[in-house]
C-alpha cells in the first residue's frame, strides 16, 4: 500500500490553488476533478508517491504559469516530481505553439519517455478519452468543437497515443485506452 504523507496532502492543496478557476473544456466540471482522477488511476496502477504527486500536477506547468510554476514544483516537491511533470508537459510557451506540431512533438517524446512518465501520461490520456467518449454519447459530434484538433485531429491524436502505449506500456492501461479509443472511433465514424 502506498502511504499517503503530508507531502501528498500538500500537493492536493497546491493543485487546488493553481486550478481553482479552471473547468474542463466545454463543461462546468471543476478541472481538479480530472487531476484527482489521474492521480487515482496512477495509484491504482502502482504509482509511488512522487508519481502520484506528479499525476496531480501534470497540467500545472502547461495550464498555470509555465516555467515559473515548474520551478515552484521543484522547490516544493523536489527534482523527481518536477522532472515527471516536465515530461508530461507539451508546451511551456504562452501562447502555445500550433496544436498539431505540439502534439507531434509530444508523441515523439512519449516513445522515448521513461516508465514513470508513460504511467502518468497514460492515466491522463485514458481519463481524457473516457470523458470525450462519455460526452460524445451525450452531445454527439459537436463534442469535437471543444478541441483545437477538431474531430479528425482529436481522433488522430488519441489513436496515435493508443498505438504508442500499446507498444511501450504501461499495461493494462494501454489495453483500456485502446478499447476506449476504438469505441470513440466507432461512434464518430458512424455519425460521419
Q: State the SS3 of 54-81.
A: HHHCCCHHHHCCHHHHHHHHHHHHCHHH
Q: Catalytic residue at 90? A: no
Place of cell 523527481: 80
Place of cell 515527471: 84
Q: Catalytic residue at 21? A: no
Catalytic residue among 63, 163, 176, 183: 63
- CA dihedral (124, 142, 33, 64) in degrees, to 10, reads 70
* Contact assessment for residue 115 and residue 169, using Cβ atoms and an 8 Å cutoff: yes
Using alpha carbons, select from 103, 77, 78, 76 the residue that is nearest to residue 89: 103
Catalytic residue among 50, 59, 62, 124: 62
Burial 115-141 (b: 16+ CB within 10 A, else e): ebbbbbbbbbbbbbbbbbbebbeeeee
Active site residues: 62-63
Amino acid at each position: 500500500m502506498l502511504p499517503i504523507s503530508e507531502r501528498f496532502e500538500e500537493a492536493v492543496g497546491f493543485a487546488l490553488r493553481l486550478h481553482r478557476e479552471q473547468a474542463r473544456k466545454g463543461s462546468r466540471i471543476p478541472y481538479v476533478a480530472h487531476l484527482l482522477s489521474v492521480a487515482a488511476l496512477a495509484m491504482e496502477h502502482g504509482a509511488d508517491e512522487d508519481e502520484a504527486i506528479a499525476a496531480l500536477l501534470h497540467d500545472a506547468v502547461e495550464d498555470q504559469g509555465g516555467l515559473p510554476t515548474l520551478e515552484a514544483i521543484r522547490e516544493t516537491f523536489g527534482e523527481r516530481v518536477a522532472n515527471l511533470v516536465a515530461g508530461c508537459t507539451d508546451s511551456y510557451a504562452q501562447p502555445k505553439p500550433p496544436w498539431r506540431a505540439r502534439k507531434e512533438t509530444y508523441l515523439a517524446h512519449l516513445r522515448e519517455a521513461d516508465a514513470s512518465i508513460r504511467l502518468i501520461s497514460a492515466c491522463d490520456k485514458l481519463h481524457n478519452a473516457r470523458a470525450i467518449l462519455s460526452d460524445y454519447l451525450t452531445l454527439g459530434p459537436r463534442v469535437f468543437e471543444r478541441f483545437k484538433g477538431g474531430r479528425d485531429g482529436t481522433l488522430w491524436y488519441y489513436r496515435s497515443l493508443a498505438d504508442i502505449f500499446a507498444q511501450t506500456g504501461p499495461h493494462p492501461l494501454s489495453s483500456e485506452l485502446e478499447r476506449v479509443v476504438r469505441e470513440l472511433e466507432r461512434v464518430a465514424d458512424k455519425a460521419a
